[in-house]
C-alpha cells in the first residue's frame, strides 16, 4: 500500500516561522528529504527515528540530481512510508515543487502541499523593507536570478522590468548580480535606483549590503556577498535603516 508525500515549505529559516502544519508532518515523517536552505535551526529538529536524505546543493554541486530525488520520493512512498520533501521558503516558488508534484501524482501516490512563508516576502520584511508602500510601490515582481540576462533569448522581459515602477525581488541572483544590474540600467532603469542584498535569511549571521544599481556589483564584491541571499530593487529600499532593530528578531 502506498504511503503519502508531503511537499513542505520550511519558511525563511526561523523555527518560529515554520507553520504548525509543517511542524506536525515533519514530526510524524518516516523519511525526510531536505535541502540546506531550511537552515540548521530547523534541520536540527528533524525526528531522530526518520530516515534523513540530504538533497542539498553545496559549492555548486548537487548532492542528488532532481530525477534521483523524485525517484527516492516515489520509492519510499510506494513502500508505505510517510515522506516529507522539505524545502526552504515555499515549495512552489522556484523550489521545483511543481515538478515533484507532477512526478508523485503520475506514480499514483497521494500528495499534500504544505505552504511555507517565502523568503522573498519575509526576509526583506525582517530588516524593515516593505515590498509595497503607498508612497513607493504598488506592485511586486519576483523573479529568479539564475537566468543569465545576456543570453540570446532570455525568458524574462528585462525591458518591461526596467520600466516598471514597482519593487523587484530576485532570488538566487548573487552570481548574476552585475549582469542583472547592467541590463536593467541598459533598458532604462535609473542607475540611482536603490538595491539591498539580504544574506542568509533569518539566521543569526544575516547581513544587509546596500547600494544602487550603479554601485551594487562593486559593493557586493568588496563585501564578499555570497548566497543564499534575497535582492530587493526599488524605492522601498530607502526605508531600510541599519540603526533600527529588526522587525522579525532572531530566536534564542
Q: Which residues are annotated as catalytic?
A: 35, 57, 172
Q: What is the DSSP letter of 239?
A: G
Q: What Å distances lie between residue 114 and 30, 32, 124, 172, 179, CA to CA?
A: 17, 14, 22, 22, 35
Output 105-109 pairs: Cβ under 8 A, ≥24 positions apart. 107/74, 107/77, 107/78, 108/2, 109/2, 109/3, 109/4, 109/5, 109/74, 109/77, 109/78
- Name the E strands within the chain: 4-9, 31-34, 51-54, 57-58, 61-62, 82-87, 111-114, 140-144, 167-171, 194-199, 207-212, 229-233
Distance CA 90, CA 13 (A): 11
Amino acid at each position: 500500500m502506498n504511503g503519502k508525500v508531503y511537499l513542505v515549505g520550511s519558511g525563511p529559516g526561523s523555527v518560529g516561522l515554520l507553520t504548525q502544519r509543517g511542524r506536525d508532518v515533519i514530526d510524524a515523517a518516516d523519511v525526510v528529504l531536505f535541502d540546506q536552505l531550511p537552515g540548521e535551526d530547523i534541520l536540527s529538529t528533524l525526528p531522530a527515528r526518520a530516515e534523513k536524505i540530504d538533497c542539498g546543493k553545496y559549492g555548486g554541486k548537487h548532492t542528488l540530481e532532481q530525477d534521483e530525488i523524485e525517484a527516492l520520493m516515489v520509492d519510499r512512498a510506494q513502500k508505505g512510508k510517510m515522506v516529507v520533501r522539505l524545502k526552504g521558503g515555499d515549495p512552489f516558488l522556484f523550489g521545483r515543487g511543481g515538478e515533484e508534484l507532477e512526478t508523485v501524482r503520475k506514480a499514483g501516490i497521494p500528495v499534500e502541499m504544505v505552504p511555507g512563508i517565502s523568503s522573498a516576502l519575509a526576509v526583506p520584511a525582517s530588516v524593515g523593507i516593505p515590498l509595497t508602500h503607498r508612497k513607493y510601490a504598488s506592485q511586486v515582481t519576483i523573479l529568479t536570478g539564475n537566468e543569465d540576462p545576456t543570453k540570446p533569448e532570455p525568458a524574462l522581459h528585462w525591458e518591461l522590468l526596467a520600466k516598471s515602477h514597482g519593487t523587484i525581488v530576485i532570488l538566487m541572483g548573487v552570481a548574476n548580480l552585475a549582469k542583472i544590474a547592467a541590463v536593467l540600467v541598459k533598458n532604462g532603469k535609473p542607475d540611482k535606483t536603490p538595491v539591498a542584498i539580504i544574506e542568509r535569511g533569518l539566521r543569526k549571521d544575516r547581513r544587509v549590503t546596500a547600494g544602487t544599481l550603479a554601485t551594487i556589483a562593486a559593493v557586493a564584491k568588496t563585501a564578499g556577498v555570497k548566497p543564499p541571499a534575497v535582492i530587493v530593487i526599488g524605492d522601498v529600499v530607502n526605508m531600510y535603516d541599519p540603526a533600527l532593530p529588526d522587525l522579525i528578531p532572531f530566536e534564542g
